[in-house]
Amino acid sequence: MAEIFGERKALSPVIAAVILIGVVVAVAIAVSLWMSSLTVSFMRIDEVKIVSHTWASDLSYIDLTVKNSGTETARISTMEVNKITVANVTYASGKQTLDVGESSTVRVMQNFVPGTNYEFWVITETGQRYVYLAAAPANVVSQLSWWNTNYALRNTITVTNNMPSTLPAGYTVSVNLDTANLVALGKMLSNGNDLRIIHRNASSFTELDRDVSEINSDSSVIRFKLQEPVSADSADNNYDLYYGNVAAIDPPENLSNIYLWFDDFNRADKPDITVESAYSVKTGGGTWSIENGMLKNVGASGDPNKLVIAALGELTSPVEMLTKIRVSSFSGGDVSRMGLSCCMDSTTSRGSGYCALFHQDSNSLDLLNDLRSWGTAGSFSWSLNSWYYMRFRVVDPTSRTGQVRVWHIDVAEPSAWAVDGNFGGGTARSFGEVGFAGSRTSDVTFFDDITIRYSAGLEPSTSLGIEESLHS
């Protein structure tokens, strides 16, 4: 072995140098390739695109189709609308992490404005941002289906009956609307003269009287009367709210066409209102007159002491009554009582029924089953010669349950009932006549602006669709 090694010759310097240079170059290339691989790995950039969209019919959301168009897996981190992060985002289909070539449907939920341009940004987990532009539909409608071309905008009202029985034609419904926002956008007059309610029947249109409260506020309420019955647990969307007419004047607002009954007593004085056929029935010894555009009762002995709205006759459905009431003199004690009455007998003991009354002192608000027994006693502190609203309804006459609330006319109506209870013992009433309750002594009470409407156990709900504009 030693001899063999001893026979080897040493490499020449030139050959050794060539070999050394080759090794160094090979190592340099290998290191370069390795570093390049590391750089590509750490500098990976994902890429996604929004390739299409679909708007909800009511513009409450948009579905965006997001596709991974890069060469690496991508994960969606955030969605923005006009560079504002959206919290209410779901995946209508697909998932948040997208493989190469894969798509997801991202649902962005908010109230979009018709005819408005939006920027939709999708941000990936690596911080890459991609933008997509889309315009919300303008909801432009042909003149052929438009009531009056002087009104540029409209919104469909859907009335939903929440009862297991039919909601009758003539029922007064209400819809809430932020009119302050419409006024600020220049879409509605500040006085609301261009706010109109239209009923559609096939290709014909009927303008309805409407009662608007709190105009140019974020809590306006518009009331109108149903023109057709709405069957149990169903909806009717044949009503439209029109606006956008700068020349609009004199909207129809006859409250007698909105409520089952309305009277503001704005007519000549009458010492005895029972000369009018609508109020031809009174019971007890008090007097009922019209004085200075108000209904006035001067109480006297007699029980029951009532003024019946004879024009309404015998009602067979529950109603809600609302009136202004002002007590000018009050003796106090059990015989001092004034307020509203319904479910009254029309034959035997005429005038007896269920009542909501100021009673006994200036801090009491009580329910009464007249000629039978007192029911739930509540409290409301009131003052002489001040005007208050009194709202009263019988929930169910057979179960003797009712509700009443009273509030000063200069404050907002409270949400809770002051008294929510029963009318006491004795035989239960059925539906019947309605009217005013007067004092059994010489107290003086004024009433004004009486409105009566049908009342369901579960009130119908109303909703607005998307704003539509006229195509001229």
Where a domain ends, among 258, 286, 307?
Answer: 258
The answer on 276 and 419 residing in a single domain is yes
| Element of type H or E holding 182 | helix 179-184
- Distance, CA of 104 to chain centre: 34
Q: Looking at beta carbons, which pairs linking 360-365 to residues 24 or more positions away fall under 8 Å?
A: 360/332, 360/333, 360/334, 360/336, 361/332, 362/330, 365/404, 365/406, 365/418, 365/419
- Please report whether residue 33 resides in a domain: no
- Distance, CA of 306 to chain centre: 37
Bridge partner residues of 48 (DSSP): 68
CATH of the domain at 88: 2.60.40.10
- The two structure tokens encoding residue 271: 């010492």
Is residue 322 within 8 A of residue 260, CB to CB? The reply is no
Q: What CA–CA distance (Å, rounded) separates 352 from 423?
A: 12
- The two structure tokens encoding residue 53: 């969209």
- Please report whether residue 460 resides in a domain: no
Helix, strand and coil in the chain, % to nearest 5: 15, 45, 45
Where a domain ends, among 135, 157, 172?
Answer: 135
Could you give the 3-state DSSP secondary structure of residue 255?
helix
- Write out the DSSP string of 2-65: HHHHHHPPPPPHHHHHHHHHHHHHHHHHHHHHHHHHHHHHHT----EEEEEEEE-TTSSEEEEE
The answer on 267 and 245 residing in a single domain is no
The answer on 233 and 144 residing in a single domain is yes
Q: Looking at 286-353, which runs of residues are DSSP E strands?
A: 287-291, 294-298, 306-308, 319-329, 333-344
- Please report whether residue 466 resides in a domain: no
Q: What CA–CA distance (Å, rounded) separates 355 from 438?
A: 11
The answer on 280 and 245 residing in a single domain is no
- Please report whether residue 4 resides in a domain: no
The answer on 196 and 130 residing in a single domain is no
Q: Looking at 96-248, which runs of residues are DSSP E strands?
A: 97-98, 103-109, 117-124, 129-135, 140-142, 153-160, 172-177, 196-201, 204-208, 211-213, 220-225, 235-243
- Please report whether residue 26 resides in a domain: no
The answer on 206 and 150 residing in a single domain is yes
Q: Alpha carbon of 288 to those of 77, 130, 175, 209, 408: distances in Å?
A: 74, 76, 36, 30, 24
- Please report whether residue 13 resides in a domain: no
Q: Alpha carbon of 67 to those of 42, 54, 123, 237: distances in Å?
A: 23, 15, 13, 39
Note down the domain range covering 340.
261-454
**Per the confidence metrics, is the pTM higher than 0.85?**
no
Output the tens digit of pLDDT for each of the chain's 472 residues: 343 334 444 545 545 454 445 544 454 444 444 444 444 344 557 899 999 998 886 788 999 999 999 999 999 999 999 999 999 999 999 999 999 999 999 999 998 888 889 999 999 999 999 999 998 887 767 677 899 999 999 999 999 999 999 999 999 999 999 999 999 999 999 999 999 999 998 779 999 999 999 999 999 999 999 999 999 989 999 999 999 999 999 999 999 999 999 999 999 999 999 999 999 999 999 999 999 999 999 999 999 999 999 999 999 989 999 999 999 999 999 999 999 999 999 988 999 999 999 999 999 999 999 999 999 999 999 999 999 999 999 988 999 999 999 999 999 899 999 999 999 999 999 999 999 999 999 999 999 999 999 998 889 999 999 899 886 4
CATH of the domain at 400: 2.60.120.560
The answer on 274 and 178 residing in a single domain is no
- Please report whether residue 38 resides in a domain: no
The answer on 114 and 86 residing in a single domain is yes
- Please report whether residue 35 resides in a domain: no
Q: Which amino acid is at 394?
A: V
Is residue 388 within 8 A of residue 382, CB to CB? The reply is yes
Measure the CA angle with vertex 228, ends 455 and 177; round to 5°: 65
Is there a cis peptide before residue 251, judged by omega within 30 degrees of 0? Answer: no
Q: Alpha carbon of 211 to those of 176, 184, 384: distances in Å?
A: 12, 22, 30
- For residue 167, give the DSSP letter: B
The CA dihedral of 327, 328, 333, 338, to the nearest 10 degrees, is -30
Most distant CA atoms of the chain, gap in Å: 152
Is residue 241 within 8 A of residue 155, CB to CB? The reply is yes
Where a domain ends, among 135, 170, 204?
Answer: 135
The CA dihedral of 175, 180, 183, 184, to the nearest 10 degrees, is -140
The answer on 178 and 131 residing in a single domain is no
Q: What CA–CA distance (Å, rounded) separates 298 from 49?
A: 79
| Element of type H or E holding 183 | helix 179-184
- What total of structural domains would you count in the chain? 3
Residue-level pLDDT at 455: 92
Is residue 142 within 8 A of residue 471, CB to CB? The reply is yes
The answer on 216 and 104 residing in a single domain is no
The answer on 370 and 284 residing in a single domain is yes
Placement of tokens 């009194």 in the chain: 390
Backbone angles phi, psi at 306, to 5 degrees: -135, 155
Pairing of strands 281-283, 306-308: antiparallel
The answer on 292 and 436 residing in a single domain is yes
